[in-house]
Chains A and B, each alone.
Chain A
Protein backbone atom coordinates (compact mmCIF):
# COMPACT_ATOMS: atom_id res chain seq x y z
CA UNK A 1 0.00 0.00 0.00
CA UNK A 2 1.35 3.36 -1.00
CA UNK A 3 -1.11 5.16 1.30
CA UNK A 4 -0.63 5.70 5.03
CA UNK A 5 -3.01 7.05 7.66
CA UNK A 6 -1.41 9.10 10.40
CA UNK A 7 -2.36 9.38 14.08
CA UNK A 8 -1.87 12.57 16.05
CA UNK A 9 0.15 14.57 13.56
CA UNK A 10 -0.54 18.29 13.38
CA UNK A 11 0.97 21.37 11.81
CA UNK A 12 1.72 23.85 14.55
CA UNK A 13 3.30 26.74 12.74
CA UNK A 14 4.87 27.85 9.51
CA UNK A 15 7.26 30.68 8.63
CA UNK A 16 7.76 31.81 5.05
CA UNK A 17 9.95 34.22 3.16
CA UNK A 18 9.42 35.27 -0.46
CA UNK A 19 11.48 36.95 -3.16
CA UNK A 20 10.96 40.35 -4.82
CA UNK A 21 8.78 39.13 -7.69
CA UNK A 22 6.63 36.94 -5.42
CA UNK A 23 6.06 39.94 -3.16
CA UNK A 24 4.52 41.85 -6.06
CA UNK A 25 2.50 38.84 -7.16
CA UNK A 26 -0.66 37.22 -5.84
CA UNK A 27 0.62 36.08 -2.42
CA UNK A 28 -0.49 38.13 0.56
CA UNK A 29 0.10 36.24 3.82
CA UNK A 30 3.82 35.52 3.82
CA UNK A 31 5.90 36.41 6.90
CA UNK A 32 8.96 38.02 5.35
CA UNK A 33 10.06 39.28 1.94
CA UNK A 34 13.39 40.16 0.40
CA UNK A 35 13.89 43.02 -2.04
CA UNK A 36 17.22 41.90 -3.40
CA UNK A 37 18.10 38.49 -4.83
CA UNK A 38 21.46 38.65 -3.02
CA UNK A 39 19.80 39.24 0.39
CA UNK A 40 22.98 40.97 1.59
CA UNK A 41 25.19 37.98 0.72
CA UNK A 42 27.94 37.57 -1.87
CA UNK A 43 26.22 34.94 -4.03
CA UNK A 44 22.74 33.67 -4.77
CA UNK A 45 23.51 30.29 -3.19
CA UNK A 46 24.52 32.00 0.03
CA UNK A 47 21.37 34.13 -0.16
CA UNK A 48 19.27 30.95 -0.33
CA UNK A 49 21.08 29.47 2.69
CA UNK A 50 20.33 32.70 4.54
CA UNK A 51 16.63 32.47 3.62
CA UNK A 52 16.46 28.96 5.12
CA UNK A 53 18.40 30.19 8.12
CA UNK A 54 16.03 33.10 8.73
CA UNK A 55 12.80 31.09 8.46
CA UNK A 56 14.11 28.38 10.77
CA UNK A 57 15.39 30.91 13.34
CA UNK A 58 12.03 32.68 13.28
CA UNK A 59 10.09 29.44 13.59
CA UNK A 60 12.10 28.48 16.69
CA UNK A 61 11.79 31.98 18.19
CA UNK A 62 8.04 32.40 17.60
CA UNK A 63 7.38 29.05 19.24
CA UNK A 64 9.94 29.61 22.01
CA UNK A 65 11.70 26.37 21.18
CA UNK A 66 15.36 25.62 21.71
CA UNK A 67 17.23 23.49 19.18
CA UNK A 68 17.25 20.53 21.58
CA UNK A 69 13.44 20.43 21.57
CA UNK A 70 13.37 19.55 17.86
CA UNK A 71 13.78 15.82 17.29
CA UNK A 72 14.36 16.01 13.56
CA UNK A 73 15.03 18.55 10.83
CA UNK A 74 14.16 17.43 7.29
CA UNK A 75 15.33 19.61 4.43
CA UNK A 76 15.42 19.65 0.64
CA UNK A 77 16.08 22.09 -2.19
CA UNK A 78 17.07 22.15 -5.86
CA UNK A 79 20.74 23.10 -5.72
CA UNK A 80 23.28 20.31 -6.45
CA UNK A 81 23.44 17.65 -3.74
CA UNK A 82 20.74 19.57 -1.77
CA UNK A 83 23.66 21.64 -0.54
CA UNK A 84 21.56 24.61 0.58
CA UNK A 85 19.70 22.47 3.14
CA UNK A 86 22.93 20.76 4.21
CA UNK A 87 24.82 24.01 4.73
CA UNK A 88 21.88 25.49 6.62
CA UNK A 89 21.56 22.39 8.81
CA UNK A 90 25.22 22.74 9.82
CA UNK A 91 24.28 25.91 11.70
CA UNK A 92 22.02 23.97 14.09
CA UNK A 93 22.52 21.14 16.52
CA UNK A 94 19.43 19.26 15.29
CA UNK A 95 19.46 15.73 13.77
CA UNK A 96 19.12 16.28 10.01
CA UNK A 97 17.75 14.28 7.10
CA UNK A 98 18.22 15.66 3.58
CA UNK A 99 15.66 14.54 1.01
CA UNK A 100 15.20 15.09 -2.71
CA UNK A 101 12.13 14.78 -4.91
CA UNK A 102 12.80 17.98 -6.85
CA UNK A 103 9.70 20.17 -6.47
CA UNK A 104 7.88 17.42 -4.55
CA UNK A 105 10.50 17.52 -1.77
CA UNK A 106 8.34 19.47 0.67
CA UNK A 107 5.52 16.91 0.73
CA UNK A 108 8.09 14.11 0.96
CA UNK A 109 9.42 15.90 4.07
CA UNK A 110 5.92 16.15 5.55
CA UNK A 111 5.33 12.43 4.89
CA UNK A 112 8.60 11.40 6.56
CA UNK A 113 8.04 13.77 9.49
CA UNK A 114 4.45 12.57 9.95
CA UNK A 115 5.60 8.94 9.89
CA UNK A 116 8.06 9.65 12.71
CA UNK A 117 5.47 11.47 14.81
CA UNK A 118 2.67 9.02 14.09
CA UNK A 119 4.97 6.14 15.04
CA UNK A 120 5.83 7.99 18.27
CA UNK A 121 9.50 8.15 17.27
CA UNK A 122 9.50 11.94 17.41
CA UNK A 123 7.44 14.71 18.99
CA UNK A 124 8.51 17.78 17.06
CA UNK A 125 9.80 17.75 13.51
CA UNK A 126 10.68 20.71 11.29
CA UNK A 127 10.32 20.46 7.50
CA UNK A 128 12.27 23.09 5.59
CA UNK A 129 12.58 23.82 1.89
CA UNK A 130 13.62 26.62 -0.40
CA UNK A 131 14.24 27.57 -4.00
CA UNK A 132 15.84 30.60 -5.61
CA UNK A 133 15.02 31.53 -9.17
CA UNK A 134 18.55 32.53 -10.09
CA UNK A 135 20.15 29.45 -8.55
CA UNK A 136 17.90 27.26 -10.66
CA UNK A 137 18.60 29.34 -13.76
CA UNK A 138 22.33 28.95 -13.16
CA UNK A 139 22.20 25.25 -12.49
CA UNK A 140 19.56 23.92 -14.85
CA UNK A 141 19.42 26.54 -17.59
CA UNK A 142 21.71 29.41 -18.56
CA UNK A 143 23.84 32.06 -16.84
CA UNK A 144 21.68 34.55 -14.98
CA UNK A 145 22.42 37.48 -17.31
CA UNK A 146 22.00 35.39 -20.46
CA UNK A 147 18.81 36.27 -22.33
CA UNK A 148 17.80 32.74 -23.19
CA UNK A 149 14.78 32.32 -25.40
CA UNK A 150 11.98 30.70 -23.38
CA UNK A 151 9.18 28.50 -24.58
CA UNK A 152 5.58 29.04 -23.47
CA UNK A 153 5.75 25.72 -21.63
CA UNK A 154 8.68 26.80 -19.39
CA UNK A 155 7.95 27.44 -15.75
CA UNK A 156 9.55 30.04 -13.50
CA UNK A 157 11.30 28.89 -10.32
CA UNK A 158 9.82 30.59 -7.25
CA UNK A 159 12.15 32.39 -4.84
CA UNK A 160 11.37 31.71 -1.21
CA UNK A 161 11.78 29.43 1.77
CA UNK A 162 9.40 27.86 4.28
CA UNK A 163 9.92 26.11 7.59
CA UNK A 164 7.01 24.12 9.04
CA UNK A 165 6.72 22.74 12.55
CA UNK A 166 5.01 19.36 12.88
CA UNK A 167 3.94 18.19 16.32
CA UNK A 168 1.92 15.56 18.17
CA UNK A 169 -0.07 18.25 20.04
CA UNK A 170 -3.54 19.06 18.73
CA UNK A 171 -3.68 22.26 16.63
CA UNK A 172 -5.99 23.58 13.93
CA UNK A 173 -4.43 21.63 11.05
CA UNK A 174 -4.25 17.85 11.02
CA UNK A 175 -2.12 15.75 8.69
CA UNK A 176 -4.55 12.96 8.05
CA UNK A 177 -3.02 10.63 5.46
CA UNK A 178 -0.62 10.49 2.56
CA UNK A 179 0.19 8.51 -0.55
CA UNK A 180 3.75 8.01 -1.75
CA UNK A 181 3.92 8.31 -5.52
CA UNK A 182 5.83 6.31 -8.11
CA UNK A 183 8.47 7.72 -10.44
CA UNK A 184 6.93 7.63 -13.91
CA UNK A 185 8.70 8.20 -17.22
CA UNK A 186 6.36 8.79 -20.14
CA UNK A 187 9.14 9.62 -22.57
CA UNK A 188 9.04 13.42 -22.30
CA UNK A 189 12.59 14.67 -22.92
CA UNK A 190 11.95 18.40 -22.94
CA UNK A 191 13.29 20.08 -19.78
CA UNK A 192 11.28 23.16 -20.78
CA UNK A 193 8.03 21.27 -20.41
CA UNK A 194 8.14 19.94 -16.85
CA UNK A 195 4.35 20.09 -16.58
CA UNK A 196 4.17 17.30 -19.17
CA UNK A 197 6.88 15.35 -17.30
CA UNK A 198 5.00 15.48 -13.98
CA UNK A 199 1.32 15.27 -14.97
CA UNK A 200 1.22 11.43 -15.36
CA UNK A 201 2.78 10.95 -11.90
CA UNK A 202 0.25 13.38 -10.38
CA UNK A 203 -2.70 11.62 -12.02
CA UNK A 204 -1.38 8.22 -10.90
CA UNK A 205 -0.89 9.23 -7.28
CA UNK A 206 -4.34 10.80 -7.10
CA UNK A 207 -5.93 7.66 -8.49
CA UNK A 208 -3.92 5.44 -6.11
CA UNK A 209 -4.85 7.63 -3.15
CA UNK A 210 -8.57 7.55 -3.92
CA UNK A 211 -8.60 3.78 -4.52
CA UNK A 212 -6.57 2.85 -1.46
CA UNK A 213 -8.39 5.24 0.86
CA UNK A 214 -11.72 4.21 -0.70
CA UNK A 215 -12.68 7.81 -1.36
CA UNK A 216 -14.50 9.64 -4.10
CA UNK A 217 -12.80 12.69 -5.59
CA UNK A 218 -15.60 14.84 -4.15
CA UNK A 219 -14.57 13.79 -0.62
CA UNK A 220 -12.08 16.66 -0.81
CA UNK A 221 -13.13 20.29 -0.69
CA UNK A 222 -10.11 21.14 -2.81
CA UNK A 223 -7.31 19.36 -4.61
CA UNK A 224 -4.11 21.35 -5.06
CA UNK A 225 -1.28 20.26 -7.35
CA UNK A 226 2.24 21.64 -6.92
CA UNK A 227 3.65 23.20 -10.04
CA UNK A 228 2.15 21.60 -13.12
CA UNK A 229 1.77 25.03 -14.72
CA UNK A 230 -0.69 26.14 -17.37
CA UNK A 231 0.16 23.31 -19.76
CA UNK A 232 0.65 20.55 -17.18
CA UNK A 233 -2.71 21.10 -15.51
CA UNK A 234 -4.57 20.75 -18.81
CA UNK A 235 -2.79 17.44 -19.43
CA UNK A 236 -3.47 16.36 -15.82
CA UNK A 237 -7.21 16.96 -15.96
CA UNK A 238 -7.53 15.32 -19.38
CA UNK A 239 -5.54 12.26 -18.23
CA UNK A 240 -7.71 11.92 -15.12
CA UNK A 241 -10.82 12.05 -17.25
CA UNK A 242 -9.70 9.71 -20.04
CA UNK A 243 -7.45 7.21 -18.26
CA UNK A 244 -8.79 7.06 -14.71
CA UNK A 245 -12.38 8.22 -15.21
CA UNK A 246 -12.01 10.86 -12.52
CA UNK A 247 -13.69 14.21 -13.14
CA UNK A 248 -12.01 16.80 -10.99
CA UNK A 249 -13.92 20.02 -10.26
CA UNK A 250 -12.58 21.71 -7.15
CA UNK A 251 -9.02 22.00 -8.34
CA UNK A 252 -6.18 24.51 -8.09
CA UNK A 253 -2.59 24.43 -9.32
CA UNK A 254 -0.21 26.27 -6.98
CA UNK A 255 1.97 27.23 -9.95
CA UNK A 256 -0.83 29.44 -11.26
CA UNK A 257 -1.48 31.18 -7.92
CA UNK A 258 1.80 33.03 -7.33
CA UNK A 259 2.38 35.40 -10.25
CA UNK A 260 0.07 37.77 -12.06
CA UNK A 261 -0.37 37.48 -15.81
CA UNK A 262 1.67 40.61 -16.42
CA UNK A 263 4.74 39.20 -14.68
CA UNK A 264 5.91 37.24 -17.74
CA UNK A 265 6.53 33.95 -15.99
CA UNK A 266 5.51 31.78 -18.98
CA UNK A 267 3.59 28.69 -17.77
CA UNK A 268 3.63 29.75 -14.10
CA UNK A 269 5.57 29.15 -10.88
CA UNK A 270 7.60 26.07 -10.00
CA UNK A 271 10.06 25.00 -7.31
CA UNK A 272 9.62 23.06 -4.06
CA UNK A 273 8.57 26.22 -2.23
CA UNK A 274 5.67 27.03 -4.59
CA UNK A 275 3.21 24.54 -3.08
CA UNK A 276 3.80 25.34 0.63
CA UNK A 277 3.64 29.09 -0.09
CA UNK A 278 0.19 28.70 -1.67
CA UNK A 279 -0.81 26.12 0.96
CA UNK A 280 -0.34 28.51 3.86
CA UNK A 281 -1.13 31.69 1.98
CA UNK A 282 -4.42 30.84 0.32
CA UNK A 283 -5.70 27.41 1.24
CA UNK A 284 -5.33 26.69 4.95
CA UNK A 285 -5.87 30.29 5.99
CA UNK A 286 -9.12 30.95 4.24
CA UNK A 287 -11.33 28.56 6.34
CA UNK A 288 -13.32 27.78 3.22
CA UNK A 289 -11.83 24.33 2.79
CA UNK A 290 -11.90 21.63 5.45
CA UNK A 291 -10.49 18.60 3.65
CA UNK A 292 -7.71 19.30 1.22
CA UNK A 293 -5.46 17.01 -0.79
CA UNK A 294 -2.09 18.44 -1.79
CA UNK A 295 -0.22 16.73 -4.62
CA UNK A 296 3.36 17.96 -4.91
CA UNK A 297 4.96 17.24 -8.27
CA UNK A 298 8.62 16.97 -9.18
CA UNK A 299 10.67 16.46 -12.32
CA UNK A 300 13.61 14.19 -11.48
CA UNK A 301 15.99 15.46 -14.11
CA UNK A 302 19.67 16.27 -14.09
CA UNK A 303 21.53 18.39 -16.62
CA UNK A 304 23.70 15.43 -17.65
CA UNK A 305 20.92 12.91 -18.19
CA UNK A 306 18.70 15.47 -19.93
CA UNK A 307 21.57 16.11 -22.38
CA UNK A 308 21.81 12.34 -22.92
CA UNK A 309 18.23 12.58 -24.26
CA UNK A 310 16.61 10.11 -21.90
CA UNK A 311 12.96 10.46 -20.94
CA UNK A 312 12.61 12.41 -17.69
CA UNK A 313 10.93 10.65 -14.74
CA UNK A 314 8.22 12.59 -12.93
CA UNK A 315 7.25 12.06 -9.29
CA UNK A 316 4.24 13.15 -7.22
CA UNK A 317 3.37 12.65 -3.56
CA UNK A 318 -0.07 13.32 -2.08
CA UNK A 319 -0.86 14.46 1.44
CA UNK A 320 -4.30 14.98 2.96
CA UNK A 321 -4.75 17.86 5.41
CA UNK A 322 -7.80 18.65 7.53
CA UNK A 323 -8.60 22.07 8.92
CA UNK A 324 -10.24 21.47 12.31
Chain B
Protein backbone atom coordinates (compact mmCIF):
# COMPACT_ATOMS: atom_id res chain seq x y z
CA UNK B 1 0.00 0.00 0.00
CA UNK B 2 1.55 3.33 -1.01
CA UNK B 3 1.11 6.67 0.74
CA UNK B 4 -1.64 7.92 -1.59
CA UNK B 5 -3.74 4.77 -1.13
CA UNK B 6 -3.21 5.02 2.61
CA UNK B 7 -4.41 8.66 2.66
CA UNK B 8 -7.63 7.47 1.00
CA UNK B 9 -8.06 4.75 3.61
CA UNK B 10 -7.55 7.27 6.44
CA UNK B 11 -10.03 9.71 4.85
CA UNK B 12 -12.63 6.95 4.66
CA UNK B 13 -12.47 6.26 8.40
CA UNK B 14 -12.20 9.84 9.67
CA UNK B 15 -15.50 10.89 11.23
CA UNK B 16 -17.02 13.90 9.53
CA UNK B 17 -17.26 17.10 11.55
CA UNK B 18 -20.73 18.57 11.35
CA UNK B 19 -19.75 21.91 9.84
CA UNK B 20 -23.28 23.31 9.44
CA UNK B 21 -24.21 22.63 13.06
CA UNK B 22 -20.88 24.05 14.29
CA UNK B 23 -21.29 27.17 12.17
CA UNK B 24 -24.84 27.86 13.34
CA UNK B 25 -23.91 27.31 16.99
CA UNK B 26 -20.84 29.56 16.74
CA UNK B 27 -22.93 32.20 14.97
CA UNK B 28 -25.54 32.16 17.71
CA UNK B 29 -22.99 32.28 20.55
CA UNK B 30 -20.94 35.01 18.86
CA UNK B 31 -24.10 36.96 18.07
CA UNK B 32 -25.35 36.69 21.64
CA UNK B 33 -22.03 38.04 22.92
CA UNK B 34 -22.23 40.91 20.44
CA UNK B 35 -25.79 41.62 21.59
CA UNK B 36 -24.81 41.63 25.29
CA UNK B 37 -21.76 43.79 24.65
CA UNK B 38 -23.87 46.31 22.74
CA UNK B 39 -26.14 46.41 25.81
CA UNK B 40 -23.15 47.16 28.04
CA UNK B 41 -22.03 49.95 25.70
CA UNK B 42 -25.52 51.52 25.81
CA UNK B 43 -25.65 51.29 29.63
CA UNK B 44 -22.21 52.88 29.99
CA UNK B 45 -23.12 55.67 27.55
CA UNK B 46 -26.30 56.46 29.47
CA UNK B 47 -25.00 56.15 33.03
CA UNK B 48 -21.66 57.93 32.62
CA UNK B 49 -22.80 60.19 29.78
CA UNK B 50 -19.78 59.34 27.63
CA UNK B 51 -19.39 59.01 23.86
CA UNK B 52 -19.67 55.75 21.97
CA UNK B 53 -15.92 55.39 21.32
CA UNK B 54 -15.04 55.80 24.99
CA UNK B 55 -17.84 53.43 26.07
CA UNK B 56 -16.62 50.82 23.53
CA UNK B 57 -13.09 50.95 24.98
CA UNK B 58 -14.39 50.42 28.51
CA UNK B 59 -16.62 47.58 27.34
CA UNK B 60 -13.67 45.92 25.65
CA UNK B 61 -11.76 46.04 28.93
CA UNK B 62 -14.73 44.54 30.77
CA UNK B 63 -14.98 41.66 28.26
CA UNK B 64 -11.23 40.98 28.54
CA UNK B 65 -11.47 41.01 32.33
CA UNK B 66 -14.43 38.62 32.41
CA UNK B 67 -12.85 36.16 29.95
CA UNK B 68 -9.56 36.18 31.89
CA UNK B 69 -11.34 35.78 35.22
CA UNK B 70 -13.42 32.86 33.94
CA UNK B 71 -10.24 31.28 32.53
CA UNK B 72 -8.54 31.58 35.91
CA UNK B 73 -11.60 30.09 37.63
CA UNK B 74 -11.21 27.12 35.32
CA UNK B 75 -14.43 26.80 33.34
CA UNK B 76 -13.91 29.07 30.35
CA UNK B 77 -11.96 26.37 28.46
CA UNK B 78 -15.01 24.07 28.59
CA UNK B 79 -17.21 26.82 27.23
CA UNK B 80 -14.76 27.59 24.45
CA UNK B 81 -14.28 24.02 23.29
CA UNK B 82 -18.08 23.78 22.98
CA UNK B 83 -18.88 27.19 21.51
CA UNK B 84 -15.82 26.99 19.21
CA UNK B 85 -15.40 30.04 16.93
CA UNK B 86 -18.31 31.76 18.71
CA UNK B 87 -16.03 32.44 21.66
CA UNK B 88 -12.70 32.23 19.84
CA UNK B 89 -13.15 35.13 17.43
CA UNK B 90 -14.35 37.91 19.75
CA UNK B 91 -11.94 39.58 22.20
CA UNK B 92 -12.83 36.75 24.61
CA UNK B 93 -10.70 34.29 22.61
CA UNK B 94 -7.71 36.61 22.65
CA UNK B 95 -7.96 37.27 26.40
CA UNK B 96 -8.43 33.56 27.03
CA UNK B 97 -5.31 32.62 25.04
CA UNK B 98 -3.14 35.10 26.95
CA UNK B 99 -4.46 34.28 30.42
CA UNK B 100 -4.28 30.50 29.86
CA UNK B 101 -0.65 30.80 28.70
CA UNK B 102 0.16 32.93 31.75
CA UNK B 103 -1.40 30.36 34.08
CA UNK B 104 0.45 27.54 32.37
CA UNK B 105 3.93 28.98 32.66
CA UNK B 106 3.82 30.87 35.96
CA UNK B 107 5.62 28.05 37.81
CA UNK B 108 8.58 28.26 35.45
CA UNK B 109 9.58 31.72 36.62
CA UNK B 110 8.47 35.26 35.85
CA UNK B 111 11.04 35.76 33.05
CA UNK B 112 11.78 32.27 31.66
CA UNK B 113 8.21 31.06 32.14
CA UNK B 114 5.43 33.61 32.25
CA UNK B 115 7.21 36.46 30.46
CA UNK B 116 8.53 34.54 27.50
CA UNK B 117 5.37 32.47 26.98
CA UNK B 118 2.71 35.11 27.70
CA UNK B 119 1.98 35.71 24.01
CA UNK B 120 2.69 32.14 22.92
CA UNK B 121 -0.76 31.76 21.35
CA UNK B 122 -1.67 35.42 20.94
CA UNK B 123 1.66 36.50 19.42
CA UNK B 124 0.56 35.69 15.87
CA UNK B 125 -2.62 37.73 16.31
CA UNK B 126 -0.63 40.74 17.51
CA UNK B 127 2.09 40.50 14.87
CA UNK B 128 -0.20 40.00 11.89
CA UNK B 129 -2.77 42.42 13.35
CA UNK B 130 -0.19 45.23 13.44
CA UNK B 131 1.16 44.23 10.04
CA UNK B 132 -2.27 44.26 8.38
CA UNK B 133 -3.17 47.56 10.10
CA UNK B 134 0.08 49.04 8.71
CA UNK B 135 -0.67 47.84 5.19
CA UNK B 136 -4.25 49.11 5.38
CA UNK B 137 -3.02 52.55 6.47
CA UNK B 138 -0.69 52.69 3.43
CA UNK B 139 -3.58 51.71 1.18
CA UNK B 140 -5.77 54.36 2.76
CA UNK B 141 -3.11 57.06 2.32
CA UNK B 142 -2.59 56.10 -1.33
CA UNK B 143 -6.30 55.94 -2.16
CA UNK B 144 -7.35 58.83 0.07
CA UNK B 145 -4.46 61.01 -1.16
Residue numbers of A with Cβ under 8 A of B are: 42-43, 138, 142-153, 186-188, 193, 196, 200, 231, 234-235, 238-239, 242-243, 311
Contact = CB atoms under 8 A, between A and B. Distances in A.
A144 B103 contact: yes
B46 to A, nearest CB: 34
B15 A200 contact: no
A146 B6 contact: no
A238 B9 contact: yes
Interface string B1-37: 1010011011001110100000000000000000000
B44 interface: no
A138 B103 CA distance: 11
Given A42-B107, A150-B81, A187-B7, A145 B13 contact: no
Given A152-B15, A153-B15, A235-B10, A145 B104 contact: yes
25 contacts: A43-B107, A144-B103, A144-B104, A145-B72, A145-B77, A145-B99, A145-B100, A146-B96, A146-B97, A146-B100, A147-B76, A147-B77, A147-B87, A147-B96, A187-B3, A187-B6, A188-B10, A196-B10, A196-B14, A200-B6, A231-B13, A231-B15, A235-B9, A238-B13, A242-B1
A151 B17 contact: yes
Contacts of B3: 186-187, 311
B77 to A, nearest CB: 3
B93 to A, nearest CB: 9
A21 B104 CA distance: 21
A236 B124 CA distance: 38
Interface size class of B (residues with CB under 8 A): 20 to 34
Q: Is the interface of A mostly helix, strand, loop or mixed?
A: loop
Interface of B: 1, 3, 6-7, 9-10, 13-15, 17, 71-72, 74, 76-81, 84, 87-88, 96-97, 99-101, 103-105, 107, 120-121
Nearest to B101: A143
B94 to A, nearest CB: 12
A211 B128 CA distance: 55
Contacts of B101: 143, 146
Given A187-B6, A235-B10, A239-B9, A142 B100 contact: yes
A188 B1 CA distance: 14
A193 B14 contact: yes
Contacts of A42: 107
A149 B88 CA distance: 9
Contact of A143 (B14, B74, B104): B104
Contacts of B78: 147
A3 B27 CA distance: 56
Nearest to B82: A147
